[in-house]
Chain A
Amino acid sequence: MRRRVVITGLGLVTPLGQGKDALWEGLTLPRRVVGPITRFDATGYSTRIAAEVKDFDPTQFMERKDARRAARFIQFAIGATHLALQDAQLAITDANREQVGVLIGSGIGGIDYMDTQVRLLDRHGPDRVSPFLPAMMISDMASGMVSIHFGIKGPNLCAVTACSTGADAIGLATRLIQYGDAEVMLAGGSEAAIEPIGIAGFCAARAMSTRNDDPEHASRPFDAERDGFVMGEGAGVLVLESLEHAQARGARIYAEVLGYGMTADAYHITQPDPEGDGALRAMRKAIHDAGLQPTDIDYINAHGTSTRYNDAKETLAIKRLLGEDAYRVPVSSTKSVTGHLLGAAGAVEAAICVLALQHQTVPPTINYEHHDPECDLDYVPNTARPATLRYVMTNSFGFGGHNSVLVLGQV
């Protein structure tokens, strides 16, 4: 029998603030945090809005010198790891450091460094390029610097699957514990792509909302007038432990990771399969891995980006999964509140599922006003809803055709 893996800590740095309470309160009130971009002058960009992490001071978590040399996604990862360890009341010591691993992914990595260093190269030549660039642009450095910072000496690696990254990090870390490679994994995702070159690229791809005159209502998953996603930033890190390890140290157990499923569309670099095929198979695999039936799922935290294609095809996939039962399962997209945290999204949304189980409440899809005939499920419009939740599922899909699904449950 495989080892059971449980979640004992949540560490969050999101546009709603730091920590799980700020996230849950922001989702259920709800708060509206999408606004004009302030990190740079976005005049002339077709999208000039985002969900930024405001007032984040990396020196709260690390030495000034380390903070100055760290790319922003690494600062977020170290901050979120601090909060996760604190929440789990887990100290890294000589007794456990070799049994603890890190798997914190990033879809994009240190694009802030790339952005500034390429400008320096152009303006002043190669001698002005920072020696830290190679280390800070690569996505694995969140895991690397977290291990160095906390002295964590077990497995150390990174998932890079675009917007499925956070979910894959948690799914793969779960497998590492099941296989016996580690007793504890710090798993999740971190992203900080609200930079000139990051925003310009997604503008060119026509993937983001251009509702610049009404940012608070721009992220509107499943609504008929949705026009693209709103970029967010931040990090989510979860403490995963073998059940025995958690019980032995008397840890508070939030939930269990029951199932993980992953597939590829093999269809298009940015568009989902027209029949939702990859998403459907990933959901089926995750539910099968959990030893459940599709109708056992009490809540689906959707990928729900607020793009025309994603929301329609994800809806189709859920209907193919559940048939007529699809209409009685609450499905919500919390990206309506947080924006789309790209490689961190899957981890933050797994944390949201944990909080939904804990509070026995489904967080809403906000900004839902207009019915789209292609999107006709129960999206929990605008208001949080108390519910009896035993098993919940979270979907994450990424550019490249990655589909990753996690099933979590009460212990």
Chain B
Amino acid sequence: MNQEIFERVQKVIVEQLGVDENAVVPEASFTDDFNADSLDLVELVMAFEQEFDVSISEEEAERVRTVADAVRMLTEKVQAGE
């Protein structure tokens, strides 16, 4: 897992969902562990797009369930040079 991307993802999640930084571990689930509702998830994806300057489709967003999923997807996008 790319540590730099993980830390940026962590920062966005802490800011958007108001959770403790220590709770943002790779296996944590947005809905089950962070209590995020559908509107939270839309806003979170928008915040990822802004932070990493990438675009994320609805299908891609739906596949992101955990912190590790987000880091993996964003790492691929950043490396693909989007």
List residues of chain A with CB under 8 Å of any chain B CB.
63-66, 68-69, 127-128, 130-132, 135
B residues less than 8 Å from A65 (CB atoms): 16-19, 40
A residues less than 8 Å from B17 (CB atoms): 65
A127 to B55, CA, bound (A): 10
A residues less than 8 Å from B19 (CB atoms): 65
Question: Is the beta-carbon distance between A128 and B46 smaller than 8 angstroms?
Answer: yes
A residues less than 8 Å from B42 (CB atoms): 131
A residues less than 8 Å from B39 (CB atoms): 131-132, 135
Give the number of chain B interface residues (Cβ < 8 Å): 12
Lowest 5 CB-CB distances: which A-B pairs, in order? A65-B18, A64-B18, A131-B42, A131-B39, A131-B43
Chain A binding surface SS class:
helix
Chain B binding surface SS class:
helix
B residues less than 8 Å from A66 (CB atoms): 18
Question: Is the beta-carbon distance between B43 and A132 smaller than 8 angstroms?
Answer: yes
A interface footprint on B1-30 (CB within 8 Å = 1, 0 otherwise):
000000000000000111100000000000
List residues of chain B with CB under 8 Å of any chain A CB.
16-19, 39-40, 42-43, 46, 49-50, 55
Question: Is the beta-carbon distance between A63 and B18 smaller than 8 angstroms?
Answer: yes
B residues less than 8 Å from A127 (CB atoms): 46, 49, 55
A residues less than 8 Å from B40 (CB atoms): 65
- Closest-by-CB residue of B relative to A130 is B43
Return 5 A-B CB contacts under 8 Å, by A number.
Answer: A65-B17, A68-B16, A127-B49, A128-B50, A132-B43
A residues less than 8 Å from B55 (CB atoms): 127
Most chain A Cβ neighbours within 10 Å, of B16, B39, B42, B50: B39
A410 to B16, CA, bound (A): 48
A393 to B75, CA, bound (A): 65
B residues less than 8 Å from A132 (CB atoms): 39, 43
Apart from A66-B18, A127-B46, what are 17 other A-B pairs with CB-CB below 8 Å?
A: A63-B18, A65-B16, A65-B18, A65-B19, A65-B40, A68-B16, A68-B18, A127-B49, A127-B55, A128-B46, A130-B43, A130-B46, A131-B39, A131-B43, A132-B39, A132-B43, A135-B39
